[in-house]
Amino acid sequence: MKIIEMHLLPVKLQLKNAFVSNHETVSRREVSIIGLKNDTGIWGYGELEAFSTPYYTPETQRSARLIIKETLGPLLKNVQINQPEEITNIFSEIAGNQMAKAAIETAVWDLFAKIQKKSLAVLIAQKIHTKSRRNVPVGISIGAKSSFAELKNAVISANYQGYQRIKIKVTSAEELNLIKKILQVFPDSTFMIDANSSFSLKIASKLAEITAPNLVMIEQPLRTTDFVDHSILQARITTRLCLDENIFSLDDVRTAYTLKSAQAINLKLARVGGIANALAIINFCWEHGLLVWCGGMLEAGIGRATNLAVASLLGLDFPGDISASSRYYSKDVITSEFMLARGMLSVPLGLGIGVTLTPKYQQALQDTTSFL
| Domain extent listing, the chain | 3-117+358-367, 125-346
Nearest CA among 89, 117, 40, 110 for reference residue 277 = 89
Give me the pLDDT at residue 328, please. 81
Give me the pLDDT at residue 372, please. 87
Backbone angles phi, psi at 45, to 5 degrees: -130, 140
The whole model's pTM is what?
A: 0.94
Residues linked to residue 38 through DSSP beta bridges, in sequence order:
3
Give me the pLDDT at residue 262, please. 97
User: From CA 111, how far away is CA 113, in angstroms rounded?
Assistant: 6
User: From CA 169, how far away is CA 184, in angstroms rounded?
Assistant: 18
Residues linked to residue 20 through DSSP beta bridges, in sequence order:
25
Give me the pLDDT at residue 322, please. 87
DSSP 144-203: P-SSHHHHHHHHHHHHHHT-S-EEEE--STTHHHHHHHHHHH-TTS-EEEE-TT---GGG
Fold for the domain defined by 125-346: TIM Barrel (3.20.20)
Mean per-residue pLDDT pooled into runs of 10, the chain (372 residues): 97 84 78 97 98 92 97 96 97 97 98 98 96 94 88 93 93 89 96 93 89 95 96 96 96 98 97 98 98 93 96 94 80 91 92 97 96 89
Give me the pLDDT at residue 22, please. 63
User: From CA 347, how far away is CA 119, in angstroms rounded?
Assistant: 9
Supply the residues annotated as catalytic: 169, 268
Question: CA neighbours within 13 Å on the CB side: how many for 227?
Answer: 15
Fold for the domain defined by 3-117+358-367: Enolase-like; domain 1 (3.30.390)
